[in-house]
Chains A and B, each alone.
Chain A
Amino acid sequence: MSSVALNLGIEALLAAQTALDTVGHNVANANTPGYSRQSVLLRAGPSMRLGNNLVGNGVRAMDIVSVRDLLVDRRILTQRSAIARLDALSSGLSDVESLLGEPGEGSLSSMISGFFSGVSRLSANPGDTVLRRDALVAGSDMAERFRSLYAGLETLRGDAAARVDAQVERVNQLTDSIATMNRAIGATEIDGSTANDLRDERDELLRDLADVVDVAVVEREDGTVAVTTRGQVLVSGTRNFEMEGETSIAQGVTLRIHGSTQELEPHGGSLGGLYAQVRSVLPERLQKLDDLARSFVHEINKAHSTGVPGTGPFRSLESTHALHDVDEDGAYDDELLAMAGLPFPVQDGALLVNMTDRVTGAVETVRIEIDAEETTVGDLVSQLNAIPQLTAVVEGNGQLSLRAAEGFGFDFAARSYPSSGAVGGSAVAITGQFGGDAAADFTFRPRSSGDVGATPDLLVDVFDQNGDRIATLDVGAGYVPGSELELGNGLKASFGLGTITNADSFELHAATDGDTADVLAALGLNTLFTGTGASDIGVSERILTDPRLFAASATGADGDGGALSDILAVSEASLEALGGSSPIQYVGGLVAGVGFDRASAELAMETEQLLHDGLVAQRDARSAVNVDEELVDMLRFQQSYQAAAQFIQVVNGLNDELMRLL
């Protein structure tokens, strides 16, 4: 019996010892990240039959278990991925925000305003060289801002791509460690015990991994975990599969698991956030900035190209955008103009070319019809060449070069033409600047026959291209030959002495835009801005060096600011290419978009953080160490130990008593 009792006492001592050790371990790890508190599983020993009685046989420390909730642990992993992703995204967007510098001085929107202000000031005195230079410098500053913003965004994208590479490296380290832990745990637990601390360590590694990339974790029966991300395996048993990143200019970065052909698109973790930056957030902003610059260049150039520079009509001009020999047969002539590799579209319309005789000042206007689906480069060149005193050549490098004969100059301004002609025997002169909304063709038709200024009720009807009568001019008795009669829309006509008959007619063409086909902007002839997007926008070097070449005039007169009005109109225009908003509004949208994304990322991060904190609290409530609790346990097991020792002493005393009897 004594041996039984002693044995029982020792068991109790050992159990209390184990429990105290566990308490010590818990207290020691109270602040170890990821540590799950452990507790000793005590069980009463198997009882023995002594006569009719079943006598208890002490206590056994059966097992040390760690207290954990697997479900909560997995949910924490998901939350951490979400938070890390939002954090990476938000810090990336914050970089974009500071780069944009809106709202504030020196921002893109204020630079755009600055350019228009310069142009507007110039409109008060279009001939002034200082004001011209001011406007051009403002344009140049704006272009510089476009370029530096674009370059800044590209740098951010490059940085993010480099950080993706670093994160891929981190994923591979972590998955390697997890695979190693899997092996250790498997080896330890082969005897059925639980490797609590190794598991804690592996859990910590999994949490680190979740910070980098979103993972799904499944625990196998052998104690190992399988880790997958977006359905692709990262760790299986004791093996890990390396993630590989590939950087390219077009895509930024592409990811895949070694040996897999499928592209990997991480959605969570810092990798997910960076990946989103490289693949969508930054490219979207780059695209928007580029769209803005592109339509800006196009719209301003359309307005500028039909203007006349301060130096008067051109003697020669070269296109800045080269034509491309698309079918590679060595000739440009057979290329369709609209598909000759020009950066901006050519559409159906007409191009006006005005030839000015520099000596007499006489102007002859020729209209070249452009059909986007039919007109070839050759057609355009030959029609240009058909204009007297003008030579057009496509150079070997694809540049179109125009040259006027000595003593002549050309421009592309919208004019009403011809400025003089005849109805029968009466000379007609047209004066004034056409102010209509759209191009119009007018036909003068006398209603009856007679002598100008003499025949009573001699009327001339003026019809527009739709056959509507827009004016009736009385040139009969009482009309003073040579005096001006209103045609409407700013045009006036005067008739000279002579006889007209109702069979006579006179055609007058009035235009509001010298290039409705946008050929000039596409070719880059007489354009203000060079480049085709945010990365290469700039003010034409030619004009910047000689501000007089700024084509401010719509008529050729050096004090006219018609082209400036057209440029200013762009500032408030709803541009089709920008979704119907004005340039400034578009910048507002772009900036607000970044702000929205960041604000919503931060808000989401706060929400996710709250959820995460809740889950952590839940986990802590179950698994974390409460030192006070452990102290109480310590007292308890200390007392058990003391009691067990006392018990052994008592049993020992009993044995001594017995021995003395012998």
Chain B
Amino acid sequence: MPLRPTQAAAFGIVQNTLERRLADLMRAQEQASTGKRILRPSDDPVGTSLAIDLRGEQDLIGRWRQTAATSQPYLDAANSSLDASHQLLGQIRSLAMQALSGTMGDTDREGVANQIASIKASLVDSANTAFDGKYLFGGTVSSSQPFTVGADGTVSYRGNDQLQSVILGLGVEVPINVPGSDAFMARDPRGLSLSGASGLAVANGPSQGDGWLDIEIRHDATAGTPGSGLVLTNGGADDTILGDRTLVIDAAAQTVRLGNGPIVQFPDATHPDAADFVVRDEHGALIHLDVTGFDGTDSNVTLSGSGSIRAGSGDFVALDLAEDDLQLVDPTTGAVMRVDATGVVRASTDVARFEGTLDVFAAIDGIIADLRNDAGLPIDEVQARMDARLGELIRNQDAMLTAMGRAGAATHRLEATDGRLANQQLTVAGRLSEVEDIDLTEAILNMTRAQQSLELAQMSGSRLLETTLLDYLR
């Protein structure tokens, strides 16, 4: 069929074209003015779905970064507080070392002890650091003070040993705390060791317990009678010898010797000390002799001390000096110690140390007690104990360093993760912009093109519509 144009069709075509061109122009204008290519999902469903995914990813990365940023201050606070604690320990160490050097008097030592005690108080404060209402060193117990000071000054830990982690990526979990159990209460149990004058030794059997406790070895009685008319003062009640010793009296020189101890002259009967003259053996074990009844003869007799033993607050049991695997139990702490009594030579209060179990506060408490030396221990014993305490202190200081290292590593991980995430965020933002946003040059070009098209359509349309045969009919 030949084409038969009609006015109605011409009007229709012009109208349609104008509508379409105007719609194009409006769309181009909308895109150029919003800068967005996708204004509603139907503009580009694939793009929309991608945009939602990308936005989700952006939110996710933003969430991780925000979590890292929120976590950072806690780690920083923990780090600086650990650093401060470490320095406090250093001060305590140098003070203790000074005191150990031996040139100090009792009052000086007391002063050092007081100084250390005040540093310990600062250390407890530091261990109880809270940031934004959260205690930093309680493991995952964060709303109550992890370290509490008892009436007797001992510090106990109320937290746990658990790590609190945040998620900073798919499968990326970063711990943001250092449990106090690791930083201030590090344990590295290495078994029992004993120190003291009695000659008590660690047996082969295993022991179990925590911290330090006293083993008291008591002298109960001395058997045997000294020769040469001498007698034991008070029946030997104040003696400290345990086991057999020979007592040799040389009348000519008026000397007496206990075991392999020094040969000493004893005084005349008229001397004020004559009723209570102390003789020591090579171990420092002593007997009290009343020399007023000296009959001028030589003698060589054997005296035998017997005693009993207890650990901590336990009951005294008679000490069998032939026992090489004696089990002692402290009912208070439940500590079990296996000791060898065969070497015991004198009464003494020894210290049983479960090496590597002393926390930092107990070690400091010990150092303070050693410095004050209320028990009046001989200086070399005090020094031996302080050496051991310092060992524990250094071990704790090392543990603190390790904890600081862990906090530092966590900080580093947070920072590294944040940097990586920032890059990733940029990439995602770029991709999102690629999907969602319009190229501005293109948008403006599009708009200009749409405008021109519309003008062209209007012009040509008006030309088409104004032609009619009527113009020429007369």
Contact = CB atoms under 8 A, between A and B. Distances in A.
* A-B interaction: yes
B22 to A, nearest CB: 16
Contacts of B160: 555, 557
B59 A127 contact: no
Interface in B1-51: 1, 3-9, 12, 16, 38, 40-46, 48-51
Contacts of B191: 480
B48 A102 contact: yes
A585 interface: yes
Interface string A478-496: 0111110000000000001
A109 B53 CA distance: 9
B40 A595 contact: yes
B296 interface: no
B301 interface: no
A113 B59 contact: yes
Interface in A572-626: 572, 582, 584-585, 587-589, 591-599, 602, 613, 616-617, 620-622, 624-626
Contacts of A109: 52, 55-56
Contacts of B391: none
B67 A124 contact: yes
A124 B7 contact: no
B142 to A, nearest CB: 3
B460 interface: no
Contacts of A625: 6-8
Interface string B170-205: 100100110000000001011100000000000011
A635 B50 CA distance: 67
Given A620-B6, A622-B4, A628-B468, A93 B42 contact: yes
A480 B190 contact: yes
A497 B208 contact: yes
A595 B48 contact: yes
Nearest to B131: A125
Query: Which of B9, B42, B187, B470 has the most chain A CB atoms closer than 10 A to its own CB?
Result: B42
Contact of A120 (B7, B12, B66, B469): B66
A636 interface: no
B46 A592 contact: yes
A646 to B, nearest CB: 21
A117 B63 contact: yes
B105 interface: no
Interface in B357-381: none
A585 B53 contact: yes
B142 A123 contact: no
Interface in A297-332: 310
B41 A116 contact: no
B174 to A, nearest CB: 10
B406 interface: no
Interface stretch (A172-180, A282-290, A446-454): A446-454
A482 B208 contact: yes
A599 B44 CA distance: 8
Given A109-B52, A481-B207, A616-B12, A632 B42 contact: no
A628 B165 contact: no
Given A126-B164, A481-B208, A482-B189, A120 B64 contact: yes
Contact of A624 (B8, B43, B51, B161): B8
Contacts of A335: none
Interface residues of A, number: 79
Contacts, number: 232
B62 interface: yes
A79 to B, nearest CB: 15
Interface in A518-577: 553, 555, 557-561, 565, 568, 571-572
Contact of A561 (B53, B132, B166): B166
Contacts of B44: 595, 599
B207 A624 contact: no
A568 B167 CA distance: 8
Contacts of A585: 53, 56
Contact of A621 (B6, B51, B139): B6
B206 interface: yes
A591 B52 contact: yes
Nearest to A477: B206
Contacts of B162: 433, 555, 557, 560
Contacts of B38: 103
Contacts of A616: 9, 12
A589 B52 CA distance: 9
B134 A117 contact: no
A645 interface: no
B140 interface: yes
A311 B257 CA distance: 73
A30 interface: yes
Contacts of B52: 102-103, 109, 584, 587-588, 591-592
A31 interface: yes
B473 interface: yes
B411 to A, nearest CB: 14
A625 B11 CA distance: 12
A120 B140 contact: no
A571 B60 contact: yes
A555 B140 CA distance: 9
Given A588-B52, A621-B5, A624-B8, A454 B206 contact: yes
Given A559-B139, A561-B166, A591-B52, A120 B67 contact: yes
B140 A559 contact: yes
Contacts of B9: 616-617, 620-621, 624
Interface string A439-458: 00000000000011110000
A631 interface: yes
B53 A121 contact: no
A457 to B, nearest CB: 14
B41 A97 contact: yes
The 6 closest A-B pairs by CB, nearest first: A453-B206, A595-B41, A559-B142, A592-B49, A595-B45, A113-B59
Given A454-B206, A613-B12, 15 more contacts: A102-B48, A103-B48, A103-B52, A127-B134, A480-B206, A482-B189, A497-B336, A558-B143, A560-B164, A584-B53, A585-B53, A595-B40, A595-B41, A620-B6, A624-B9
11 contacts: A94-B42, A116-B63, A124-B70, A125-B142, A452-B206, A497-B208, A557-B160, A560-B140, A587-B52, A593-B45, A626-B4
